[in-house]
Structure 1
Amino acid sequence: MRIGLIGAGNIAQIMHLPYLVELPEAEVHAIADPGRNVVEALGDRYNIPNQYEDSDALIEELADDLDGVVIATPMHTHAETAIAALEADLHTFVEKPVAVTPEDAADVVEAADATDAVCMVGYMKRYDSGYQRFAEEVENADTIDLITNTVIPPDVGSVIEEVYDNIPADLDESFLQASGENRTSQLQTAIDTDDDTLAHAYGYHLESICHDINALRGLFGDVESIDHVDVFNDWKYLTAQLQYEGGRRCTLQSGATDRKWYDERIRVDTPESALSIEFSNAFIKNTPSEVRIEEGTDEMTATEHTPSYDESFKRELAYFLDCMAGDAEVRTGPREAKKDVELIADLFRSYQNIDRVGEY
């Protein structure tokens, strides 16, 4: 299957491109990125015959030659690029979040509904073997007292620089300024604010917690109510109280630090046990997530599981190819991803005491 890679930044260079090349069913037939130096270097390194600076040109000129595209551009371009690919009837994998604004997310759903092409959103944690083991344990729990989700990543940029020799794009200041203005405009529109700090907070936490919001959706279904939200320490921290189906309560904690360690975990407390998953650093390859089960009241047993060293990014790309071939059904589609964007936008809209866009 011929694939076009659109966007060649850090995550594409670390995960998407190397794993696409490894998968025997995939042939990387085209690449597009506004950084010409990146396109040429990666095109030569991986023998990619068709090289573009403009994603629209790639889609328009190669729609008949490609089977699908993998979109790993900045998040404020996800919706526009995905819609263009879907309108060209290309199978489309788009990185999370599916859009910045709920309205743009809805447009992606509409475009996906209008074509027979597959549309899959890149929530790689749903394909993590540790998460899948954790989901089995949660499903077997009769009573859930409390759900806790913590997402406090490190300084990702410094970690990437320390581990990888990625190629930075040479981009004009005018391009960067226009892109930044577009991003800010979308962030402000999504949460109905002209406060630059609050818009920046939404942008950071949208990128940071959408994986976990989707992982929680996979475990517990839809959120039925947002009971409390606080945003503090300028923009760095967010806490929220959510209720899921059946009145299950979740405490959500999201933050930003300059620390080195990665702190991302979900814990489920039951009357007689505590089930938890600790996710590994998403930017370090083949680092497994760990599942821990603590049981007992009078006596305690603790069991730790490391189900696999498989890389979840590779697993999700392989699953996308299976969907393209008709051998699997999309697990993380745009309709679900739209709900995630609505929920995160509504956390910030609730903080401002303004109307929400989702249904609770």
Structure 2
Amino acid sequence: MKLGVIGVGAIAQIMHVPYLAELPEADIHAIADPGENVVETFGDRYDVPHRYTESAALIEERADELDGVVVTTPMHTHAEVAVAALDADLHTFVEKPVAVTPEDAQAVVDAAEETDAVCMVGYMKRFDPGFRRFQSEVADLSEIDLVTSVVIPPNVGAVIDENYDIVYADLDEGFIAESNAKRRQQVEAAIGTDDETLARAYEYHLESICHDVNALRSVFGTVEAIDHVDVFKEWKYVTAQLRYEGDRRCLLESGATDRKWYDERIRVDAPEGSASIEFSNAFIRNTPSDVRTKIGTDETTETRYTPSSDEPFKRELGHFLECIDGSVEPRTPPAESKADVELIADLFKASDRGTERTIRR
């Protein structure tokens, strides 16, 4: 299958491009990135015949040759690029979140509905072998008392620089300023405020917690109410209490630190015990997640599972290729990601207003 890769930043260099090159069905036929130095470096490294500094040119000139595209651009450009690809009837993999604003997320959903091409959003946690085991362990619990979800990433830049030789794009200062302004404009539109603290918080935490919000959705369904939201330590920490279907309560915590270790976990407490997953560092290849159960009241049995170190990024790209050939339906369609964006925007709107908001996401 001939694929185009649009956006060759750090995570694409670490995960998407190398794993696509490993998949025997995939042929990286074209790449695009605003950094010409990045395009030339990776064009040479992976022998890519067609190279662009603009995504629109890649889509316009190569759509008839390509089977699909993998979009790994900055999040505020996801919707624009995905819509253009879908309008060209290209099967489209777009990294999470599908957009910054609910309106742009809806535009992707609409574009996907108007074409026969597949659209899939890159929630790699959903392809983690450990998470698949965790889902089955939760399904075996008699009932659910409480769900706790925590995500506190490390200093991502420090982790990446310590482990990989990233080629950073040589970009004009004017280009960067324009891109940042577009990103902030979308952030403020999404939550309906130009409050600096809330805007900074939404900008950071949207990208951070959308994985966990989507993972929780796959296990517990829709959120029916937001009971409480607190943004504190300036913009760095957010806590929220959510109510899922069946009055299942979830405590959600998201933070930003300069620490080096990765802290992302979900725990489910039940009358007879608990099931939990501690996700591995998403920026280090082939590190397995840790799944544990504790069952018993008088006597306790504790079980620890490490199902596989198979890389979730590679598994989700393989799934995308299966979607292209029609053997499966996308596990993570854009409508789900749109609901995730809506929910996270609602969290910060609730914080701004300080009131409970009843919703269905």
TM range (shorter): over 0.9
Q: What's the counterpart of residue 137 of structure 1? A: 137
Secondary structure at the aligned position of 2:136 is classed as: helix
Q: CA deviation at 1:141?
A: 1.3
1:54-69 alignment to 2 at 5 Å? 54-69=54-69
Q: CA deviation at 1:358?
A: 5.6
Q: What's the counterpart of residue 48 of structure 1? A: 48
Contact 2:224 2:358 in 1 (8 A): no
Q: What's the counterpart of residue 167 of structure 2? A: 167
Q: State the AA in 2 paired with 1:359.
A: R
Secondary structure at the aligned position of 1:337 is classed as: helix
Could you report, residue by residue, the CA deviation over 1:105-146 in whole angstroms, capped at 9, with x for unpaired residues?
A: 011000000000000000000000000000011112121000
Provide the rounded CA distance (Å) in 2 between the counterparts of 1:112 and 1:17: 24
1:1-360 alignment to 2 at 5 Å? 1-353=1-353, 359=360
Secondary structure at the aligned position of 1:259 is classed as: coil
Q: CA deviation at 1:257?
A: 0.3
CA pair 358-79 structure 1, distance change in 2 beyond 3 A: farther
Contact 1:274 1:295 in 2 (8 A): yes
Contact 1:155 1:258 in 2 (8 A): yes
Secondary structure at the aligned position of 1:176 is classed as: helix
Provide the rounded CA distance (Å) in 2 between the counterparts of 1:346 and 1:164: 36
Cα RMSD, aligned residues only? 1.1
Secondary structure at the aligned position of 2:267 is classed as: strand
CA pair 358-117 structure 1, distance change in 2 beyond 3 A: farther
Contact 1:146 1:269 in 2 (8 A): yes
Moved over 4 A (4+): 354-358
CA pair 40-220 structure 1, distance change in 2 beyond 3 A: same
Contact 1:273 1:294 in 2 (8 A): yes
Unpaired runs of 5+ in structure 1? none
Q: State the AA in 1 paired with 2:360.
A: E
Identity %: 67
Contact 2:294 2:303 in 1 (8 A): yes
Q: State the AA in 2 paired with 1:195.
A: D
Provide the rounded CA distance (Å) in 1 between the counterparts of 2:31 and 2:268: 42
Contact 1:339 1:358 in 2 (8 A): no
Provide the rounded CA distance (Å) in 1 between the counterparts of 2:289 and 2:348: 30
Provide the rounded CA distance (Å) in 2 between the counterparts of 1:157 and 1:357: 37
Q: CA deviation at 1:357?
A: 10
Q: CA deviation at 1:354?
A: 8.2
Contact 1:147 1:269 in 2 (8 A): yes
Unpaired runs of 5+ in structure 2? none
Name which of structure 1's ranges 15-24 and 194-203 shifts more when overlaid on structure 2: 194-203
Contact 2:226 2:358 in 1 (8 A): no
Q: CA deviation at 1:359?
A: 3.5
Q: CA deviation at 1:196?
A: 2.2
